[in-house]
Structure 1
Amino acid sequence: MGKPGNTPHRTRPSTPSQPYHVTVFTTPTSRARKFTTSDTPSTFEDAAELARKAALVARIRNTFLIILTIATALFALSMLSPRLHPYSQEGLPNLKTSLQNIDTIPARHKILGYKREVFGADWAIAPGSSCDTRQVVISSQSPSVSDCTTESTELFDPYSQSLIPNANIEVDHIFPLSAAWDHGAYAWDDDTRKHFANDPLNLVATSRTLNQSKSDSLPGEWIPPNPAAHCWYAERVAGVAAAYSLTLAETDITTMKRRCQLGIPFM
């Protein structure tokens, strides 16, 4: 003990040799982040500044996530909306009805002997008309003409669901002629093949670009670019196949069913 009347000498605690660590909470529910030794603030003002920076980073991150979520939702809606309001055609059998009359094969096999001429060299004159089949199809898709003898400047393209210039169109066989040959038309007589090539059920006017990109493909390999046309296209392919007893490959059938599961339920 010290002598009476003398104040005891108290030793101040020594300063820690290692810097202290600060844990910053950006929000009550956020994850704590520990700063490394090199990030350790030397004063409480520095610690507060680090906390403000961490909160700012958290706000930027949350804002980015909100924007990303909204953008994703809008994209999903834009893809889903056409399927909820699909393009349809009056009188066209639904997919299930047509598929009941179609034989399915494992895969398409090339059959030798196909030539475009076996389906007729030229467009046939439409029954009860002075126009050929091509003119009839084009006029039926032109909103501003009343008959096939009048040319329109534009027409409605079901594949793209848009109006296209009349100067940039081709008439497409929905079930391609070479594909039909492989799926059974090789065994038909000439009259049946010519009728098939001129049947309006199997014809649609579209842009040259889309017609060439489609080529001789069936639904397993090609689908119209506009989702609103997907089920309609599947039903047209199936309607043609059923009407002419053509087979379809399993991949085509699977794709067609999938494309009609939204918008027009496959029942």
Structure 2
Amino acid sequence: MTKTIPLLTTLLLAAVVAGITWQLQSPKSLTLRFYPYMGEQVLVFNDLRYQNPGGPGKFLIRDLQLFISNIHLIGKKQTYRQPDSYHLLRFDNDKGYFDIVLKDVALNEYDRIELGIGVDPDANGSIVFSGDLDPNGRMAWNWQVGYKFLLLEGRLTSNEKSIPLVYHIGFDESYTRVTVPLANDSGFFDQITTLKVDFSKLFMQETPVNMEQVSTVKFDPDNVRLIAQAFPDLLSIN
């Protein structure tokens, strides 16, 4: 009898270890949840509350869309690449955030997330539909130019003037890869990673953008470059 108890204990421990190992290695879902921010506060649409960073007046944001693409999870031994990974982030919904769900992922194998802001050059010049890419949609310019990576529209009020704000940012050279850490809570359950998209970075640069002087950006390469140079700092773990 005294020999049976250690044997049962060993078998139970082996079963527990096997169960934990199976649970850790079994595929999970990872939700990337993107929240729009202006500085330290969640973005509020259609509210004339934001100060022009480089000049007088206040502005509001009415419409905001952003392409995120080519999502990779990277670990020490392997990389996960999401198929058809082109996502058009929109925040004009009751939730106030946008989810991208990666299914069947061995979360414990990865420690960082790499993704693209915008559309990579190959897809930007292609007529092939993939993910949220739609060459007939509002975010498409034409076959020669490709897609708008960022669409931000609103209004600036300055010196009793109302000035439309239109920022359509694209071009291959604006495509930007960024990496953020993946905080793996336990590996036992499906996971939500919350990311902050701070749109104030587009204008609060080393030399703040005067939105009264640069109120419309579409096809001018210098002005597009001015706004897109903030892309590397746009995302962070919230």
Between structures 1 and 2, the one with greater helix share: 1
Using structure 2 for the length normalisation, give the TM-score. 0.28
The structure with the largest alpha-carbon Rg is: 1
Using structure 1 for the length normalisation, give the TM-score. 0.25
Between structures 1 and 2, the one with greater strand share: 2
